[in-house]
Amino acid sequence: MNTNLGFVRVAAAVPMLRVGDCKYNAKQTTDMITEAIAEGVEIVCFPELGLTGYTCADLFFTNQLQQNAMAALQEVCRFTRGKAIIVLVGAPLKVDNDLYNCAFVITDGEVIGVVPKTNLPNTGEFYEKRWFASGRETVEQLPDGVHPRIPTVELWQGDVPFGIDLLFMTRNYSFGIEICEDLWSPMPPSTQLAIQGAELIFNLSSSNCIVGKHAFRRQMLAQQSQRVHCGYVYTSSGVGESTTDVVFSGSTYIAENGKLIAEGERFQRESSMTISEIDVQRLRTDRERNNNFTLDRRGHFRKVNVAPIENPEGFAEPIHRTFNPTPFLPAKENEDAYCMDVLSIQTSALARRWEHTHAQSLVIGISGGLDSTLALLVAVMTADRLGYARNRVLGITMPGFGTTDRTYRNAIDLMTELGVSVHEIPIRDVVTQHLHDIDHDMSKHDITYENAQARVRTLILMDMANKYNGLVVGTGDLSELALGWATYAGDHISMYGINAGIPKTLVRHIVGYAARNIFDERVLTILEDVIATPVSPELLPANDKGEITQITEDKVGPYELHDFFVYYFLRYGFTREKIAYMARCAFDQRYDDATIQKWLDVFMHRFFMQQFKRSCLPDGPKVVSVGLSPRGDLRMPSDVNEF
């Protein structure tokens, strides 16, 4: 896999150690390093004090244990020589008669940096201040900021950078380290590390297990990774620790910008490793767009250059993490809250516009398709919310040359069941006359033939709005706008685009949710058939069986693919190569490479070519994390070249 895609493969390792047996623990560590290398891991993180065991207590004071720990550290270093990996291990280190709980960064046979623990627990079972000094004691406050008081420590290889102010820089990413309790403090070191530029945070931990702590800890990790836009790798001591008073579960987590992307099984009785990939490009995009992110840089941070041996085979496949093929849809457990949020945003927005304009009615063109159905449901819910009669919603169906009995019947039945005002205004004669007036051959079913119908429909809606003091509610969705799949000055225009912030996959989902949870059984039956109807503008005549012949997805491609493209191109600015790779992973062989590339090319071409339509969009509420409003998320010139 091309490393330009921005993924960094990381691992959280939990060796099955023996308390106080440093030689044994070093062997367990090197065995797991071998496993990590075989998996193509770039950085592997081991638990806090993993070479000695966290529960050694007063044995930390003994010279023998300290010497054994350094011997084990040297053994791990020797083992990494010539190997393409960065290793983070924990051990105690004596400096100037103080003992520190440290993380050692190792690559190619050498320790390149040592980070002491900053925040020491001072309550409960482990009163670390009895044994260790805080990393804060290694720095001092000078008039121009915080500076290292102990900048280096002498190891067998020579002087090595030491302190809580170390930022590790590789060619492709940067990382920082905090240790266990540091994360639980009011001001975690990872906050300043991230502000200073660390894109990945590694936490060497030895957090004991009590009821309820697991859920809280994983929530805290996800929140911290989102707060500072970072990848967060956490590993904690396993069941090999002493159970004198507490139990350790070997928890491992890998989080990225608020989402837990990998988690290991707890309480395993053998060594275990959790592996995944962190998307550094995605993190950088969020940081670039957050201008406040770097405003609170404090102190003096030293950069340590890391030059690990490159893996000659490059990034190993397959990738461990998964990608959601429907990024705009809610997880099952959050469906109710998510869908009601969407509907609340839409109804609140429409209610505000309705009240502000003092309109007597809402005017909506109803085709029997998904988009107009959602707009109608939102209009009805808005009328209910404002205490207005539903007949103030004017539903207008305008049968044309391609209207089928199925969509026509669904449009009429839905309006009737919802209690809105029903208007039927056929457009065939008007369009025929118009095409005759412009000398267009009626047998030529080209873009003129199609768009004439769309513009006549918009003319009718606008004039009906004038007649009934109404507000024309647009029905086009975000996916159609991204593709430019709208007739300029036709369905492209309205007085308020209520669906402009909702992608097609979410439109279908919300209609289904509303059918099952908000409206009665008769409406449910109609909505289920609307959902099952192929997406079509119905501008071309039906076939001999009266069926739809113009299927939108046959022309522009599957909307589930386009919504995937929209999300990762607009939200994160990813390259075509990366989006295509992620789509192959996300859809898991449902589309072959050629199909994905074909529709990605269509998306990119249409997206750039059709910006002029989006440059003059009507108002409409933003709903999901991306938007196309020229006044909001997308400030884009109409004549930019495709890239």
Catalytic annotation, residues: 48, 117, 180
Per DSSP, the three-state class of 334 is helix
Closest CA to 605 of 550, 557, 551: 557
Backbone dihedral region of 611: left (phi > 0), alpha (psi from -120 to 50 degrees) or beta? alpha
Residues 383, 364: contact at Cβ < 8 Å?
Answer: no
Residues 142, 94: contact at Cβ < 8 Å?
Answer: no
Q: Phi and psi for 140 in degrees, rounded to 5? A: -140, 150
Residues 166, 113: contact at Cβ < 8 Å?
Answer: yes
| Cβ neighbourhood burial of 630 (10 Å; 0-12, 13-18, 19+) | middle
CB-side neighbour CA atoms (13 Å) of 33: 26
- In the block, tokens 């949710």 appear at 513
User: What DSSP string runs through 396-447?
Assistant: EE---TT--HHHHHHHHHHHHHHT-EEEE---HHHHHHHHHHTT--TT--SH
Cα distance between residue 105 and residue 278, in whole Å: 19
In 312-413, where do the E strands start and end? Answer: 361-365, 393-397
Closest CA to 624 of 397, 329, 269, 228: 329
Q: In 3-state terms, the chain is what percent helix, strand and coil (to 5)?
A: 40, 20, 40
Q: How many C-beta atoms surround the C-beta of residue 621 within 10 A?
A: 21
